[in-house]
């Protein structure tokens, strides 16, 4: 079947064919994604990945909805803690990127035994890293908040929240890594079910622990961390159960042994990918320090605005993850041109989605922000953040897909360099100059963010077109 034929495009397919594909994607497909028509493969992977990330974005919005009811100090504590979690997220996403690339490549080669062994190495490395980071986080939680520029009241309000979030980071680490393994194997439905289970629990337990509903203790902002950690922990238990009875990838007793060669490959890719992520996420620390100069209202407004932005971008990352899996599997199967075609199809879908969301966010940001705060100063900053950042959504659509395509090919160096240039040589200096030197205030920070992501997209697309990633061996 020709991928350029009208019948291979979901937009032109008969209605029954489209919905049949959606249902199959949600159930989980047994098809070989290196053989089915590219548009169908994109749909089968992207639908559950988008639904997976949509639930994650919904939780981010619901979480800040409840916490914002506690005031700007509690909201600021959550935002500062999220910034401190940058290192943990970086390590988790680095190992996840490496896991997806290696598992997908082995699947493309039809070597499922090696894929299962790779999953075990990722679990081992992630657990050790999480334990070390967790101990440090619990001991130094108040100190970290102070170093981030928090006021004494924010430290008093949020230090226990920070300690719980950092101390329970093993749930974050394993949730990321195991879902990456599922995606690399093409079992996007398993990853979707995991995150839905985890986040539905988070959503249900959040207000219970925050406000003391029913038999639950009223823990304030700390309750949000408790609910999140419990929800994620149950999600991890479900992941291990899924691995044991895996449909596309089964990790059995014989796979549970350390393999230094595979661990070395995983660490090599994962370290670079973690640094790639850390460059981006740590750059938000710089922005947070700049915004802290303008007080808690500016911080809280930025947190709300960015959470709403994440609500839109996380489903788009689902599409980008689909591209990464298809690139890895098709390179493993020896089909580099098919891998490239999959990236452009996915990017087009992403462009349509984010372009539509941008129209809503640019045109009507105030009603959206009012759902999360009644404080006029906070709302003003949040509206400005949402409107300015979403102006770049259509461009971001291509940038995030091509960045993930490099990662799926096992080329984690190129995106790392791109991120360093765009986020440290462009975003941070521009944010400082616009906000403080030019007296634009927080508005200048939001403009700098948009410029940085436009730059990332332009560079990533240019380098991807050169095609060096097709020769990458992992």
pTM, whole model, 2 decimals?
Answer: 0.84
pLDDT at 398 over 80: yes
pLDDT score of 301: 87
pLDDT score of 425: 95
The pair phi, psi for residue 412, each rounded to 5°, is: -90, -10
Going by pLDDT thresholds of 50, 70 and 90, the confidence category of residue 297 is confident
Going by pLDDT thresholds of 50, 70 and 90, the confidence category of residue 218 is very high
pLDDT digits (tens, 9 = 90+) for 157-207: 889 999 999 999 999 999 999 999 999 999 999 999 999 999 899 989 999
Mean pLDDT of the chain: 88
Which has the closest alpha carbon to 426: 303, 257, 327, 279? 279
Q: What is the DSSP letter of 341?
A: H
pLDDT digits (tens, 9 = 90+) for 146-156: 887 778 888 88
Mean pLDDT for the stretch of residues 115-121:
94
Mean pLDDT for the stretch of residues 338-353:
94
Structure tokens at 67: 């916490």
Count of positions (residues) in the chain: 474
Structure tokens at 348: 């087009």
Going by pLDDT thresholds of 50, 70 and 90, the confidence category of residue 57 is low
Going by pLDDT thresholds of 50, 70 and 90, the confidence category of residue 13 is very low
pLDDT score of 8: 39
Q: How far apart are CA 255 and CA 265, in angstroms?
A: 17
Going by pLDDT thresholds of 50, 70 and 90, the confidence category of residue 429 is very high
List CB contacts of 438: < 8 A, sequence separation 6 or more.
444
pLDDT at 280 over 50: yes
Going by pLDDT thresholds of 50, 70 and 90, the confidence category of residue 5 is very low
pLDDT at 415 over 50: yes
pLDDT score of 420: 95
pLDDT at 16 over 50: no
- Whole-angstrom CA distances from 350 to 106, 320, 431 are 27, 8, 27
Which has the closest alpha carbon to 44: 28, 66, 62, 63? 28
pLDDT score of 22: 85
Q: How far apart are CA 423 and CA 279, in angstroms?
A: 7
Q: Angle at which helices 188-211 and 169-184 pack, to 10 degrees?
A: 160
Structure tokens at 49: 């990945």
Which has the closest alpha carbon to 49: 329, 321, 263? 321
CA–CA–CA angle 342, 347, 349 (5° rounding): 100
List CB contacts of 260: < 8 A, sequence separation 6 or more.
none
Structure tokens at 403: 């960045």
pLDDT at 381 over 60: yes
335 vs 307, residue with greater confidence? 335
Judge whether 227 and 198 are in contact, CB under 8 Å. Answer: no
Mean pLDDT for the stretch of residues 432-454:
92
Annotated domain spans of the chain: 41-471
pLDDT at 7 over 50: no
pLDDT digits (tens, 9 = 90+) for 131-143: 999 999 999 989 8
pLDDT digits (tens, 9 = 90+) for 67-91: 888 888 888 888 888 878 878 888 9
Q: Angle at which helices 15-27 and 38-67 pack, to 10 degrees?
A: 60
Mean pLDDT for the stretch of residues 39-51:
89
Structure tokens at 213: 């509903």
pLDDT score of 472: 85
Which has the closest alpha carbon to 308: 389, 213, 195? 389
């Amino acid at each position: 079947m020709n991928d350029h034929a009208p019948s291979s495009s979901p937009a032109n397919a008969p209605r029954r064919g489209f919905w049949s594909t959606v249902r199959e994607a949600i159930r989980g497909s047994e098809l070989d994604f290196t053989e089915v028509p590219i548009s169908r493969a994109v749909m089968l992977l992207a639908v559950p990945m988008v639904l997976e990330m949509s639930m994650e974005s919904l939780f981010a919005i619901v979480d800040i909805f409840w916490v914002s009811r506690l005031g700007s100090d509690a909201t600021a504590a959550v935002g500062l803690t999220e910034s401190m979690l940058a290192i943990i997220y970086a390590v988790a996403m680095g190992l996840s990127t490496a896991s997806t690339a290696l598992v997908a490549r082995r699947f493309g080669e039809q070597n499922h035994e090696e894929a299962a062994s790779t999953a075990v190495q990722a679990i081992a490395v992630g657990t050790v890293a999480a334990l070390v980071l967790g101990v440090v986080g619990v001991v130094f939680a108040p100190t970290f908040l102070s170093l981030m520029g928090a006021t004494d009241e924010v430290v008093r309000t949020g230090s226990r929240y920070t300690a719980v979030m950092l101390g329970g980071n093993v749930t974050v680490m394993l949730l990321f890594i195991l879902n990456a393994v599922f995606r690399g194997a093409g079992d996007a439905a398993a990853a979707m079910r995991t995150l839905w289970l985890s986040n539905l629990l988070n959503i249900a337990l959040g207000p219970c622990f925050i406000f003391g509903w029913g038999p639950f203790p009223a823990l304030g902002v700390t309750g949000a961390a408790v609910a999140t950690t419990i929800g994620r922990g149950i999600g991890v238990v479900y992941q291990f159960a899924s691995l044991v009875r895996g449909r596309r990838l089964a990790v059995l007793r014989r796979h549970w042994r350390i393999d230094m060669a595979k661990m070395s490959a995983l660490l090599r890719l994962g370290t670079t990918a973690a640094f790639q992520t850390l460059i981006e996420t740590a750059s938000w620390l710089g922005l947070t320090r700049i915004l802290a100069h303008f007080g808690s209202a500016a911080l809280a407004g930025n947190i709300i605005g960015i959470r709403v932005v994440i609500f839109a971008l996380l489903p788009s990352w689902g599409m980008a993850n689909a591209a990464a899996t298809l690139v890895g599997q098709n390179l493993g199967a020896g089909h580099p041109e098919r891998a490239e075609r999959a990236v452009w199809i996915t990017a087009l879908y992403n462009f349509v989605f984010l372009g539509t969301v941008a129209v809503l966010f640019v045109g009507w940001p105030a009603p959206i922000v009012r759902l999360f705060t009644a404080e006029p100063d906070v709302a003003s900053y949040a509206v400005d953040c949402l409107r300015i950042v979403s102006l770049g959504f259509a461009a971001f659509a291509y940038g995030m897909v091509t960045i993930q395509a490099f990662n799926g090919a096992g080329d984690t160096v190129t995106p790392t360099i791109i991120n360093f240039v765009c986020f440290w040589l462009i975003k941070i200096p521009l944010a400082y100059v616009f906000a403080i030197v030019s007296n634009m205030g927080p508005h200048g920070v939001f403009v700098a963010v948009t410029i940085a992501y436009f730059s990332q997209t332009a560079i990533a697309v240019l380098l991807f077109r050169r095609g060096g990633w097709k020769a990458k061996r992992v």
